[in-house]
Amino acid sequence: MAPEGKVPASDLREEKLISQRPESAEKSTGDGPPDAGFLTLSNLLSLARIPLGLAFIVVGDPSLQALLVVGAGVTDVLDGLIARISRTVSQIGLLLDPLCDKLFVLLSLSGFLAGEVLGWAAFLVLILRDLFTMGCYLLGRLTGQIIPFRPRWPGKIATGLQLLTLLALIFDPRYVPLLVMLVGVVSVWAIIDYGTSALRHPWQMAA
């Protein structure tokens, strides 16, 4: 027992350790990435795919449309890379990246529905994976849950094939049926992969 009026040495050591604890450790909560803010360079690159998709509909020149597709692909690669290098990975960024991918593809493909190259059946096959993930996200929000959809390779491959399909629609529609079939197969793979991955990870309550 310590003499009256003196603080035990163990308590002093504990107080010193608490005082030296980094402030970020006290503020961080949960297992997700820290909040790096909304207006980060990586998030702005993700958001850039929305005006690129709108421009794709308006622009009629095939060369400019191809440049827009390439630009969307470049921003898709750079946003995640910059977020990891600059350590600005955030929950909002993990949501924006796939959402902006889907919006660009949806806007761009919709521009071909008025013609004879792309029918509604092929259009629905091309956006099958996107419909699934958006539906699961909305269902989760309605039930107060956040389903953990993380970027995964089957989804990335499906996105790449969607962009290739856009280029085929622009330059050589003969390859569109084959690419639509490939996108459909990979989309089913991605849906199964997303589903099993989501079941393996704990869901979070929505704020």
In one-letter notation, the amino acid at residue 169 is: L
Decide if 146 contacts 95 (C-beta within 8 A): no
In one-letter notation, the amino acid at residue 147 is: I
CATH 3.20.20.80, domain 34-205, yes or no: no
171 or 144, which is more confident? 171
Taking only the tens place, the pLDDT of each residue in 10-19 is 554 555 444 4
What band does 186 get if pLDDT is binned at 50, 70 and 90? very high
147's tokens = 């389903």
**CA 200, CA 203: separation in Å to the nearest integer?**
9
**CA 68, CA 59: separation in Å to the nearest integer?**
10
- Report pTM: 0.73
* DSSP code string of 91-158: HHHHHHHHHHHHHHHHHHHHTTTTSSSS-HHHHHHHTHHHHHHHHHHHHHHHTTEE------HHHHHH
Taking only the tens place, the pLDDT of each residue in 37-94 is 778 899 999 999 999 999 999 998 999 999 999 999 999 999 989 988 998 888 888 8
Between β-strands 145-146 and 204-205, what pairing exists: parallel, antiparallel or unpaired?
antiparallel
**CA 94, CA 96: separation in Å to the nearest integer?**
6
Task: Break the chain into its structural domains and give their ranges.
Answer: 34-205
Q: Over pLDDT 90: what percentage of the chain?
A: 46
Provide the terminal-to-terminal Cα distance of the chain, rounded to the nearest Å. 48
The mean pLDDT of 98-122, rounded to a whole number, is 91
